[in-house]
Amino acid sequence: MSIDALIMAAGSGSRFGSRKQFADLKGETVVLSAVGLFLDNPKINQVFVVYPPDMEADVFMETGKLPPEVYPVQGGEIREISVLNALKASKADYVLIHDAARPFAPSEMIERVIDTMLLEGAAVPAIKMTSTLKYLETDGSLSNLDRERVFAIQTPQGYRRKDILKAYQARKGGGYTDSSSIAAEYGMATPIVEGSAKNIKITRREDINPGMEEFR
C-alpha cells in the first residue's frame, strides 16, 4: 500500500495579483510550505508538484525553493488537466490531492483524511458553515439554506488512485473546482471528515499577514 501527495500549484494567481505559490510566507514560499506538510510524513511515498504550463520545470523548482526529492509535473490550462497529469505520473495505490494555496493544513486533519481514505477508499475534509446562508433566485429573491447540510470543502482530498483516475478520464467538460465534484459526478462515494478552520486558502494578498503564525 502506497500513498502519494499531489500538490496543485499550476494556477496563475489572477486574484492574488501574481503567482501566489511563490509568495513569501515567513521565509518560505507558499508552495514549499504546502509541500512540507507531506514531505516528512512517513506515510507518504512521493510528493508530486504540478507547475504552470508556461514555465519550465527547473525554473519552477528554483523559484519555489523546492528540494530535489519533489517530483515536478507539468500542469494544463485548466485544473482538471493538471490533476489528471499528476494522477498519471503517480503509481501509488492512493493519492492525496492538495491545493498549494492551503499551506496551513494541520497534521492531525491530514491524518484523519488518510485514515478514512484507507478505510473507505476516499475522504474529503469539510467544515460546517456557521453563517446564515441564502440562495439568490433568478428573480432576485432570496431563499434560505439549511446550514446544517451545507459544508465548506477543503483539501487534501484522498482517493484510491485508480478510482479517481477513472473519474477524471470520464469527466464531462471543465469548470470543476475540486476533485470531489468529479468524484460525485462519476458516482463515487465521498466520505466527509472533519476539516479545520486553520486550513484557510490563500486567495488574496491580505490572506498573508503577520498574524499567520497562529496557523503554523
Q: Number of folded domains in the chain? A: 1
Tell me the pTM: 0.89
Q: Closest Cα partner for 9 from 44, 42, 57?
A: 57
For residue 14, what are the contacts with CB-CB under 8 A and spacing of at least 6? none
Determine, yes or no, domain membership for 120. yes
Determine, yes or no, domain membership for 208. no
Determine, yes or no, domain membership for 30. yes
C-alpha separations of 11 from 45, 71, 181 in Å: 25, 17, 19
Determine, yes or no, domain membership for 190. yes
Determine, yes or no, domain membership for 207. no
Q: What does the pLDDT read at residue 150?
A: 80
Determine, yes or no, domain membership for 216. no
Strand segments (E) across 52-93 = 71-74
Determine, yes or no, domain membership for 82. yes
Q: What does the pLDDT read at residue 149?
A: 73
- Beta partners for residue 97, in sequence order: 6, 157
CA 151 – CA 167 distance, rounded (Å): 22
Q: Give percent of the chain with pLDDT exceeding 90.
A: 68
Report residue 4's pLDDT band, with 50, 70 and 90 as the boundaries. very high
Higher-confidence position of 94 and 139: 94
Report residue 147's pLDDT band, with 50, 70 and 90 as the boundaries. confident
CATH number of the CATH domain containing 146? 3.90.550.10
Is the pLDDT at 133 greater than 60, yes or no?
yes
Q: What does the pLDDT read at residue 211?
A: 36
Range(s) of the domain holding residue 172: 3-200
C-alpha separations of 213 from 100, 109, 210, 216 in Å: 17, 18, 7, 5
CA 40 – CA 119 distance, rounded (Å): 22
pLDDT single digits (tens) 160-212 = 999 999 999 998 877 788 999 999 999 999 999 999 999 999 876 666 663 35
Is the pLDDT at 216 greater than 70, yes or no?
no
